[in-house]
A and B are shown apart, each in its own frame.
Chain A
Amino acid sequence: SQTIHQWPATLVQPVGSPLSLECTVEGTSNPNLYWYRQAAGRGLQLLFYSVGIGQISSEVPQNLSASRPQDRQFILSSKKLLLSDSGFYLCAWSDGLAGINEQFFGPGTRLTVL
């Protein structure tokens, strides 16, 4: 069966510090991968998605970037965090061949920028 991991689970960082969040998927090959942000009391905002190694599409211009160095690894980064980067970050995967975009979510990372 497939599993998706995210770490760290929680993170408190000062403004201006760098960020690296990691997501890995097990039990599947060539998944589509997604990063979402969920601000307090708000819905999900798609940040990035990837259909393959090194292929990243950005949905929202911002302070963040994403990379996919391996087939089942997706990394969310920032060089300098802003207060507005606080939120709950969710990674998800889907089977690109299935064609219905059903997504499976990781447990999330709670990021607080102080």
Chain B
Amino acid sequence: AQSVTQLGSHVSVSEGALVLLRCNYSSSVPPYLFWYVQYPNQGLQLLLKYTSAATLVKGINGFEAEFKKSETSFHLTKPSAHMSDAAEYFCAVSSGGGADGLTFGKGTHLIIQP
């Protein structure tokens, strides 16, 4: 079985400040990990993914995430927040086998203060 925990249902940062969204996973096999972003009333858009290549993964919109096996973590960061980053962010894990898809965290709502 696999699971994802996102710490903090809401995170608020000032514009220009560091963004850090936390994600911890559990998986019985080496995982594939994903971060998705969802803007209001839209579908989910892939930000970045870890597929067992480089542990530091760079994504779109200046986001990156680091896979740390010892900590079972895949935290999402961005050096400088923009107002346009305000959205819901979902971390997801896949064991790769089977078609039943991804296991999602409950999401973190990112609020950007001007």
Contacts and interface: CB of A to CB of B under 8 A. Distances in A.
Contacts of A59: 100
A32 B99 contact: yes
Of the four ranges (under 10, 10 to 19, 20 to 34, 35 or more), the interface on chain B belongs to: 20 to 34
Interface residues of A, number: 26
Helix, strand, loop or mixed for chain B's interface?
A: loop
B100 A46 contact: yes
Given A42-B106, A43-B90, A43-B106, A103 B43 contact: no
Helix, strand, loop or mixed for chain A's interface?
A: strand
B79 interface: no
A108 B36 CA distance: 15
B99 A99 contact: no
Interface in A58-111: 59, 88, 90, 92, 94, 96, 99-108, 110
